[in-house]
Amino acid sequence: MIDIVQFQNELMSSNCFVVYDSETKQSFIVDPASEKSKDVIDFIENKNLSPEFILLTHEHTDHTWGCNALIDRYDKIRIVCSQACKDNLSKEGTAYFQFYFNKTDYIYNIKHIDIVLEDIHYCLQWDKRTIYFYKTPGHSKGSVCFLIEDKLFTGDTIMQYKPFIPKKTGSKEDYKNSVQYILDIFKDKKDNIMVYPGHGKIFLLSAIENFNFS
Ligand SMILES: [Zn+2]
């Protein structure tokens, strides 16, 4: 059985999740963004887990800043994201620290991206399970959602409120279409799909009707 534990990242209170099977000890990490990833590493060590992947929902630095700390700690870990996410990661890293911290000399580059979703047709095998990815541009060009069993990880595409959509790098039109795309895929299962968003609390997909998207 899959267990999921939620961590709050240092940047922008975004969510990081560790997904694991307590029997096989296999695990993967979603959106680590605390510079040293200390709480995540402590958890992994305490549970004796083997982290195989880092899955990135999108390229924004408040979802990626912890990757290098985990790469340094786990040399076999592989980073997985969309092509557009990969293409825009370093631009985002540079812009983020200039804008929020006025640090013009701080450049954040993830050391390596190992698997691009387009190359694996948006399906990833993990611990005898399949993770299905969905391309959901709008909040950013490289945004994706993904499903494992009945758990849907949505990054900043589906949360309990509408995310900020940057004028230059996002698209309101694409965002609307992407949210609808996800709702259409799961329309008959809304009461069974648990959503793990990029910020805020987890919720049942059917609860989205009560959220404010305007
Ligand atoms: Zn974002």
Sign of the alpha-carbon torsion through 87, 89, 90, 92: positive
Taking CA 148 as the corner, what is the angle to CA 43 and CA 109, rounded to the nearest 5 degrees?
A: 60
| Mean pLDDT of the residues in the chain | 94
Residue 188 is encoded by which pair of tokens? 């008959």
Tell how far the Cα of 59 is from the centroid of ligand 1, in angstroms. Answer: 7
Rounded to whole angstroms, the Cα distance separating 131 from 146 reads 7
For the whole model, what pTM was predicted? 0.96
The stretch 115-140 carries a mean pLDDT of 98
Distance of CA 62 from the midpoint of ligand 1 (Å): 7
What's the 131 CA to ligand 1 centre distance in angstroms?
A: 21
pLDDT > 80? residue 11: yes
C-alpha dihedral, 123 to 125 to 131 to 136, nearest 10°: -30
Pull the structure tokens for residue 75: 């040399």
∠ CA 114-41-105, nearest 5°, is: 65
Please give the Cα distance from 48 to 26 (Å, whole number): 9
Distance 58 CA to ligand 1 centre (A): 7
Report how far ligand 1's centroid is from the alpha carbon of 2 (Å).
26
Q: Maximum Cα–Cα distance for the chain, whole Å?
A: 50
Q: What's the pLDDT at 108? A: 85
Alpha carbon of 39 to ligand 1 centroid (Å)? 22
Q: What is the Å distance from ligand 1's center to 84 Cα?
A: 14
The pLDDT tens digits of the residues spanning 66-106 come to 999 999 999 999 999 999 999 999 888 888 877 777 777 77
Place of tokens 């609808």: 180
Contact 133, 122 (CB under 8 A): yes
Tell me if 145 sits within 8 A of 153, measured CB to CB. yes
3-state secondary structure of 16: strand
Q: Distance, CA 157 to ligand 1 centroid (Å)? A: 8
pLDDT of residue 157: 97
Residue 149 exposure: Cα atoms within 13 Å on the Cβ side: 14
Helix (H, G, I), strand (E, B) or coil at 113: coil
How far away, in angstroms, is 102 Cα from ligand 1 center?
19
Amino acid at position 28, single letter: F
What is the tens place of the pLDDT at every residue in 128-151? 999 999 999 999 999 999 999 999
pLDDT over 70 at 214, yes or no: no
Phi, psi of 162 (to 5 degrees): -75, 130
Question: Ligand 1 centre and the CA of 23: distance in Å?
Answer: 33
Cα(128) to centroid of ligand 1, in Å?
Answer: 30
Instruction: Output the pLDDT for position 56.
Output: 98
* Span from the CA of 41 to the centroid of ligand 1 (angstroms): 23
Cα 199 to averaged position of ligand 1 atoms, centre (Å): 9
Confidence of residue 27 (pLDDT cuts 50, 70, 90): very high
Alpha helices in the chain (DSSP H): 38-47, 67-73, 83-101, 172-185
Ligand 1 centroid from CA 143, angstroms = 8
Residue 159's pLDDT is: 95
pLDDT digits (tens, 9 = 90+) for 159-210: 998 899 999 899 999 999 999 999 999 999 999 999 999 999 999 999 998 8
Fold of 2-210: Metallo-beta-lactamase; Chain A (3.60.15)
In angstroms, what is the span from residue 74 Cα to ligand 1's centroid?
A: 25
Nearest to 6 by CA among 16, 48, 40: 16
pLDDT score recorded for residue 206: 95
CA–CA distance from 49 to each of 23, 110, 184, 213 (Å)?
10, 23, 35, 38
